[in-house]
Structure 1
Amino acid sequence: MYQKFFGLKKSPFSLIPEPEYLYLSQHHKKALNTLRYGVFQQAGFTLLTGDIGCGKTTLLQKLLNDIKCDVDLGLITNTHPSFGELLSWVLRAFNVDNTANDEAERYRVFKRFMDKRQLSNRRVLLVIDEAQNMDIPALESLRLLSNINDDGKCMLQIILAGQSELLEKINDPKLIQFAQRISIESHIKPLSYQETKDYIGHRLSVAGGRSDIFSRKAVLAVFEHSGGVPRVINNICDLAMVFAFANDSGVEYETVMEVVNERRTGGIRKSTSNQTSHSKLDITEMLGFRSNGSSSVNTKSRTLITH
């Protein structure tokens, strides 16, 4: 509804992962290069972790879009606690016909699929997103499946992406053999203030708009109340642009605070461990206020708001 008002071709702050909007912070660039290295060096297991909303799925989409056609890709995205028998999901991910009645026969079906790929000089890459939802038996089944590589050739490569609790599961003593097989790992952290500023400007530019739609103080407010988490930044910025459109103005500090306060009083509030590296007093001073009581900035602890 605000696109025409701000001269945009499309919404710049959609919550749907879109590789064209990918902004590579220092941590995101390192993670993407690590993923690429894992794929092209034929690492058995590659691990990507990060807190909720930090851009793991977007990075994966970028990686998969860049992979050449000599790789067969299997993608599993809908993991859940009742994940079920792993091989059935894997066969479905690679569109392999599966009429087997037991796990042993499903393994033979998968082994035939792998053998055909090897004869065709094609690599096989299995990507599992939201892997933190897999339980320990499912992860152990994945390790056993990787035994297909034990003949000296890496026939099957696996990328696991998940939230930080995936690390806790992998560090469980029951999964020590699994942990030893992970050769490459990367962790995505939230954006800094400067990265948040660049991120907002980048998305506005990709959408065809000006990078100065958000004032400096507005960007600082977004950073303070998002903790530098891209999904939360998108959430706040999108609604701030709606409010600015309604007020026939650009996005100012007061606009962002209106969004934050409204969502505090009537929206969904979820706390997160992602906090900015600045103290509340630092943020207040960066905004140009002083702690003499003249500012309307609330310096009490805040909760971050996500979907």
Structure 2
Amino acid sequence: MYEQFYSLTGAPFSLLPDADFLFLSRRHSRAVNMLEYGIFTQAGFMVITGDVGAGKTTIVRRYIKNAAQDVRLGVISNPTSVSGRLLDWVCQAFDMEVAPDQDEARLYHQFVDFLVKQYATGKRAVLIIDEAQNLNAEKLEELRMLSNVNNEKDQLLQIVLVGQPELLEILKKPELRQFVQRISVHCHLDTLTPAETMAYIYHRLSIVGGASNLFDDRACATVHFFTGGVPRLINLLCDQALVYGYSEDQTRISSQIIAEVAQDRDASGLSPFLKWPSGLPFYETAPEIEGILREVHRALSDEAKL
């Protein structure tokens, strides 16, 4: 819709978790490296957590896209629908045929044979479970028992759990203390800093050929105010701001347009964005925005000194 007007080759702020758009903030870069390190060093369990919209799934998509040829991947992306035996779902994630009403002991041996064959051909089996906060303690304990196929020398199965902070609360339960002892890697994704929010916006624009000044510094600071640095909310706000700008023939996105989008959503009663201080009109040089700008410029100045 607005792509041609702003000379873009595509939509820069899609809500879909596209690995090509992954922005490597300090925490995101660490999560990527920790995940790759854990799999390379045959860690049994790895955990990546973060709030809704923090970019967890995008990191997983990046790993899946770039996975080495010696990795056999199985992915469960919606464990909410997992009912009955978890082993059935794990086998299906690896494209194994599971006969209806198959005896659990026989299925377990079939799965172990599958892992041994992968290992014999030089492949590592990696199971990734996204939205893992939807697994209860019983299912997590099943995963721990399943990991017993590993021995002291060889990791036949590596498991990556990706989930919201609620997953950590589940893992703190006393009955899961043995599970926690097997977690070799854990990384939590924080929200973006003001400077990272600006870099994130410029990064996504650059991928689709957008001008770096399409969003000026003050507009980026306003985006950070209303989104708190949550990547998904940044995408949502910036995408709608481009629609507003296009509809008004604005060649640049100003902080006023950003605020208008956020306040229109607030007026609708369906806003995921943070609220502007009650009773105060929005203006570009408001102390709330100036404070974020100063933090951005301070961070950029410190970075330039390194």
- Counterparts of residues 255-274 of structure 1 (less than 5 Å): 255-270=257-272
Structure 2 distance, partners of 1:138, 1:10, is 41
Structure 1 distance, partners of 2:261, 2:272, is 15
Q: Report deviation, 1:173.
A: 0.8
Deviates more, 1:166-175 or 1:150-159: 150-159
Aligned residue identity for 1:22:
L
The answer to whether the 8 A contact 1:205-1:211 is kept is yes
Structure 2 distance, partners of 1:244, 1:199, is 20
Structure 2 distance, partners of 1:175, 1:26, is 30
1:58 — aligned with what? 58
The answer to whether the 8 A contact 2:82-2:89 is kept is no
Structure 1 distance, partners of 2:50, 2:225, is 19
The two structures, once aligned, show a CA RMSD in angstroms of 1.8
In structure 2, do the counterparts of structure 1 residues 215 and 91 end up closer, same or farther at CA, with 3 Å as the change threshold? same
Aligned residue identity for 1:196:
T
Deviates more, 1:18-27 or 1:96-105: 96-105
Deviates more, 1:98-107 or 1:236-245: 98-107
Deviations for 1:54-112, whole angstroms, at most 9, x for unmatched residues? 10011111112222111111011011175431111111000111115232121111011
2:116 — aligned with what? 115
Q: Report deviation, 1:52.
A: 0.5
The answer to whether the 8 A contact 2:222-2:289 is kept is no
In structure 2, do the counterparts of structure 1 residues 287 and 267 end up closer, same or farther at CA, with 3 Å as the change threshold? same
Deviations for 1:156-195, whole angstroms, at most 9, x for unmatched residues? 1111100111011011111111111101111110100110
| Count of paired positions | 281
The answer to whether the 8 A contact 1:46-1:183 is kept is yes
Percent pairwise identity: 42
2:20 — aligned with what? 20
Aligned residue identity for 1:14:
S
In structure 2, do the counterparts of structure 1 residues 287 and 154 end up closer, same or farther at CA, with 3 Å as the change threshold? closer
Structure 2 distance, partners of 1:113, 1:136, is 26
Deviates more, 1:99-108 or 1:63-72: 99-108
Structure 1 distance, partners of 2:273, 2:209, is 33
1:207 — aligned with what? 208
1:143 — aligned with what? 144
Structure 2 distance, partners of 1:270, 1:233, is 11
Residue segments in structure 1 that go unaligned for 5+ positions in a row: 273-280, 289-307
Aligned residue identity for 1:219:
C
Aligned residue identity for 1:27:
R
Structure 1 distance, partners of 2:289, 2:85, is 53
SS state at 2:80 partner: coil
The answer to whether the 8 A contact 1:51-1:164 is kept is yes
Pick aligned residue for 2:253 from 227, 236, 251: 251
The answer to whether the 8 A contact 2:262-2:273 is kept is no
1:286 — aligned with what? 291
In structure 2, do the counterparts of structure 1 residues 81 and 179 end up closer, same or farther at CA, with 3 Å as the change threshold? farther
Pair 1:198-2:218 in alignment: no
- TM-score calculated relative to the size of structure 1: 0.88
Structure 1 distance, partners of 2:111, 2:70, is 19
Q: Report deviation, 1:17.
A: 0.6
Residue segments in structure 2 that go unaligned for 5+ positions in a row: 275-285, 294-306
